[in-house]
Amino acid sequence: MNFEKVLFAFFILLAMTLNFGFFYGDQTDPSQHHVYELFAAIVISLIATIMKFGDRSQVGAVLLATSLVADLQLIAAATVWGIAVYGLNLPLNASVMSTIVSLSGGALLANIVSTILLVIETIVARR
């Protein structure tokens, strides 16, 4: 068993599950989406992205692209949260939370594609 591949898969799956944990719940209810969970999803997603830079295959390029999309979406969600709450002093209302969760949903979709590609690559490598 290759420990590097285990660690790589671990961070890809952890990024997806943390993102799902933040995304899951009523889209307009701020009490169901914690800022620290979004922060953890961003950090783990960035770690997963850094780990994907070493792969020079075609699948590796697509994995990197999906990870960059997820990073961009999560950072945009955090930016909306920060600007709304701290920049404009708005309450974290349903409209703002809906935008944040929607951006997180886009990142979740990119993470799901990345996970599917990882599983396909693993199955093909076994043959």
Of 109 and 52, the one with more pLDDT: 109
pLDDT (tens digit per residue) in 73-104: 999 999 999 999 898 888 888 888 999 999 99
Residue 34, domain member (yes or no): no
Beta strands in the chain (DSSP E): none
Determine what percent of the chain is predicted with pLDDT higher than 70: 98
What mean pLDDT do residues 51-60 have? 80
Residue 75, domain member (yes or no): yes
**Number of neighbours of residue 56 by Cβ within 10 angstroms:** 7
Residue 41, domain member (yes or no): no
Whole-prediction pTM? 0.88
- CA 123 to the chain's CA centroid: 23
**pLDDT at res. 4:** 82
Residue 50, domain member (yes or no): no
Residue 106, domain member (yes or no): yes
Residue with token string 């997603």: 45
- Give residue 123's domain range: 1-22+63-127
Local confidence band at 5 (pLDDT 50, 70, 90 cut-offs): confident
Residue 53, domain member (yes or no): no
Residue with token string 């990142």: 107
Structural domain count of the chain: 1
**pLDDT at res. 13:** 93
Determine what percent of the chain is predicted with pLDDT higher than 90: 52
Residue 37, domain member (yes or no): no
Is the four-CA dihedral 29, 31, 35, 36 of positive or negative sign? negative
* Tokens (6 digits) for 120: 């396909």
Local confidence band at 127 (pLDDT 50, 70, 90 cut-offs): low
What mean pLDDT do residues 15-35 have? 86
Residue 43, domain member (yes or no): no
**Number of neighbours of residue 31 by Cβ within 10 angstroms:** 9
pLDDT (tens digit per residue) in 98-125: 999 999 999 999 999 999 998 888 888 7
